[in-house]
Amino acid sequence: MLENTKLIHGYPVVDKYTGAASIPKYQTSTFNQKDVFEKQDYSYTRFGNPTVAALEEGIATLEGAKYGFAFSSGMAAISTVLMLMETGNHIIVPNEVYGGTCQFVKDILPSYHIESSFVDYSDIETVEKAILPNTRVLYIETPSNPLLKVADIKKLVALAKKHELVTIMDNTFMTPLYQKPLELGVDIVIESATKFLNGHSDVVAGLVALNDERIAEQLTVYQKSFGSILGIEDAWLILRGMKTMGIRMEKSCQNAATIAEFLEKHPKIEKVFYPGLSSHPDSDVHLSQAKNGGAVLSFELGSEENVHTFTTHLNLPIIAVSLGGVESIVSYPRTMSHACISEEERLKQGVTPGLLRLSCGIEDTEDLLTDLEQALSYL
């Protein structure tokens, strides 16, 4: 089954109990038990719910995994998975990891005596040098936010296998449609379903997929015990959003590729960061592990003043935290995703006062180009 067909038929899309063509919202906390001694599929919604289970099967199908898990946010998924580590473990994380993950690893994990090293993943030798006797996890996120730096998944997986490390990968930017970490040997894949999977900027959710039975059993207990389960209404909205994900993503990625080329040639733009451009230093690595450049790009306007002028004249994209909606979204990493780190650290990472990130929606390409052109004309 190919991807678009899989999105419509590859997991429970018809309700097995009633035949409803859309999985109903089983809006219930508990289930009447016919017999106190007999086990039944569902007993209590924190342990499992048919609407949420359909979504969990859905993410497993899309990622090519045996097991899927749904959480109340991308961060709930990330933090619950990272808590699978034990006291005394060490984790290696890329320098440009998502801000929330950075905060969790730096501020929360030390309370459980779990150490971390933040490393430049563009150099595999640097990553290998960071491995300690107690290293347990190699955490991957590619392309990175907001500079779209690329890490070589296959090389990182080979390194992890050599040192018997568990690989965990945040695949939010590329989605399971365009990058399949488990096929590349990653052990656990995480998606913030808040973004492209749901696609309509109306839900916060996280999904996890994996193949290892022992880890799946452990994660089932953690999901149930931490209790950061996904709400039924939200699971239903994602199930609905996922059905159109193929055509949504196709249009968003086409828009991103066209806009990246347009901006790269524009005299007012100093630099464009997009792994689908041949000028991107690691576009070959990216395109060997992902189907296209994705729907997110960043660009350098040179100064805070230019950012202010440009964004006040922009009409179509909304200015917001987040990405992956049907509407284009412009974010200012300096005051949004990267607000919690110091200016010095931001500049070290390349998050300058002139940097903007654009998540392309599904608007007509011509309209987006016209809007960008007119806003740039004020600089």
Q: Kindly list the residues in this chain that would bind ligand PLP in the complex (CB under 6 A).
A: 73-75, 98, 100, 145, 170, 172-173, 192, 194, 204, 206, 322
Closest-by-Cβ residue to ligand PLP is 74
**CB nearer ligand PLP, residue 74 or residue 275:** 74
Is 95 within 8 Å of 229 (Cβ atoms)?
no
Tokens of 115: 């150490």
**Which of 113, 172, 100, 159 is closest to 340 using CA atoms?**
100
CB 91 within 8 A of CB 81: no
CB of 369 vs ligand PLP, minimal distance in Å: 25
Shortest distance, CB of residue 92 to ligand PLP, whole angstroms?
Answer: 17
Note whether 269 and 379 are within 8 A (CB): no
Helix (H) or strand (E) run with residue 119 in it: strand 115-119
Residue 111 DSSP one-character state: G
Question: And the tokens for 271?
Answer: 């630099």
Which residue, 145 or 292, is less far from ligand PLP as judged by CB?
Answer: 145
213: left (phi over 0), alpha (psi -120 to 50) or beta: alpha
Residue with Cβ nearer ligand PLP (292 or 306): 292
Alpha helix segments (H runs only) across the chain: 3-9, 50-63, 74-82, 99-103, 124-129, 153-162, 175-178, 213-226, 232-243, 245-265, 283-289, 304-313, 343-349, 365-376
Instruction: Give bridge partners of residue 340 from the DSSP assignment.
Output: none
Between 50 and 146, CB nearer to ligand PLP = 146
CB closer to ligand PLP out of 114 and 174: 174
Task: Give min distance, CB of 290 to ligand PLP, in A.
Answer: 14
Least distance from C-beta 242 to ligand PLP, angstroms? 15
Q: Which amino acid is it at 328?
A: S
Q: How far is it, in rounded angstroms, from Cα 6 to Cα 346?
A: 40
Smaller CB distance to ligand PLP: residue 182 or 238?
A: 238
Tokens (6 digits) for 240: 């609905």
Question: Which residues are catalytic, by number?
Answer: 46, 98, 170, 195
Q: Is 356 left (phi over 0), alpha (psi -120 to 50) or beta?
A: beta
Closest distance of CB 122 from ligand PLP, Å: 18
Residue 79 or 306 having the CB closest to ligand PLP: 79
Q: How far apart are CA 216 and CA 231, in angstroms?
A: 21
In the complex, the smallest distance separating the C-beta of residue 266 from ligand PLP, rounded to whole angstroms, is: 26
* Closest to 167 (Cα-Cα) out of 175, 177, 149, 155: 155
Say which residues have a Cβ less than 8 Å from residue 47's Cβ, sequence separation at least 6.
224
What value, to the nearest 5°, has the Cα angle with vertex 335 and ends 333 and 338? 50
Least CB distance to ligand PLP at residue 149 (A) = 13
